[in-house]
Amino acid sequence: ELANDLHTYYNAHQFLVPDANLRDARIKLILAVRQVVRNGLALVGVSAPEAM
C-alpha cells in the first residue's frame, strides 16, 4: 500500500524542481519511504535490493 501511494504521488508531482526546499523535502520523502519499506521487509526476513 505504501509503495502504491508513493508511486501515485511520484507520478503526480515533479521531484526535480527549481525550489530547493521543495525539492529537498520531496527527495527526503522518497528516502524515508525507502527506509520504511526496508525495515518492513527486514522484519519478515526479506532483503531489499539496491536497484531493480
Count CA atoms closer than 13 A to 34's CA, side-chain side: 10
- pLDDT band at 48, cuts 50/70/90? confident
* Distance separating alpha carbons of residues 12 and 14, to the nearest angstrom: 7
Q: What is the pLDDT of residue 3?
A: 85
- pLDDT band at 52, cuts 50/70/90? low
Give the pLDDT confidence of 12-39 residue by residue, as tens digits. 999 889 999 999 999 999 999 989 998 9
